[in-house]
Chain A
Amino acid sequence: NAGVTQTPKFRVLKTGQSMTLLCAQDMNHEYMYWYRQDPGMGLRLIHYSVGEGTTAKGEVPDGYNVSRLKKQNFLLGLESAAPSQTSVYFCASSPWTSGDQETQYFGPGTRLLVL
């Protein structure tokens, strides 16, 4: 049971390049999330998904797209990277069961540098 995994761990992009971050969970969780972490700001929600084939915007969705084609995977895409997207990205998942619905389990993070 690996929990939540993220690929890659670190990436350097040039402004304007595109990339996709992959998140995978093996806990059969319904809900999945993408956050970004910036110094002094905690984590902020980018997009989330409440089930396979569904996605929704979070607090800071601009410049990002997501897809949830399979229940266990949640992809975060940057179509045209900007230096403002330099950050650490965390994926999380949570079950949809009474009493534990709101506990999220986090991946190890992806560090992205946009030059």
Chain B
Amino acid sequence: AQSVTQPDIHITVSEGASLELRCNYSYGATPYLFWYVQSPGQGLQLLLKYFSGDTLVQGIKGFEAEFKRSQSSFNLRKPSVHWSDAAEYFCVLSGGYNKLIFGAGTRLAVHP
């Protein structure tokens, strides 16, 4: 079965601290993986995507993610968090025919 698991529902970090959001997927073939961010009351914005090739992908706003096939993971990282990064983050798997399978999301709070 195709699925995405984000183990952490809420995460709180201090401004300037590093961040890692976890994501695990289940898919029978090479996955297409994405991270989207949703600010309060807003739509979704694409942070980065992995299709193939280099397993470390760079995105916007200083985010990066690493694809690890052996662990079925696609964790999102940022070395220094800013208060404006407070939002909900979704790990997403493309299940073929462009149909997206979303994780439940991780809500990030940033303390000053």
Q: Name A's B-contacting residues (CB within 8 A).
A: 31, 33, 35, 40-45, 48, 50, 58, 90, 94, 99, 101-109
Contacts and interface: CB of A to CB of B under 8 A. Distances in A.
B100 A45 contact: yes
B43 A90 contact: yes
| Consensus secondary structure, chain B interface | strand
B83 to A, nearest CB: 23
Given A50-B97, A99-B51, A102-B94, A42 B43 contact: no
A43 B90 contact: yes
Given A102-B32, A109-B43, A42 B49 contact: no
B100 A101 contact: no
Interface of B: 4, 9, 32, 34, 36, 42-46, 49, 51, 90, 94, 97-100, 102-105
Among all A-B residue pairs, the 3 with the closest Cβ atoms:
A42-B102, A106-B44, A102-B94
A109 B38 CA distance: 11
A103 B105 contact: no
A99 B49 CA distance: 11
B104 A41 contact: yes
11 contacts: A41-B104, A42-B105, A43-B100, A43-B102, A45-B99, A48-B97, A50-B97, A58-B99, A102-B49, A106-B45, A108-B43
Given A42-B103, A90-B43, 8 more contacts: A41-B104, A43-B44, A44-B102, A45-B100, A48-B98, A102-B49, A108-B42, A108-B43
Given A43-B90, A43-B100, A102-B94, A107 B51 contact: no
B90 A103 contact: no
A94 B98 CA distance: 8
B55 to A, nearest CB: 18
Contacts of B97: 48, 50
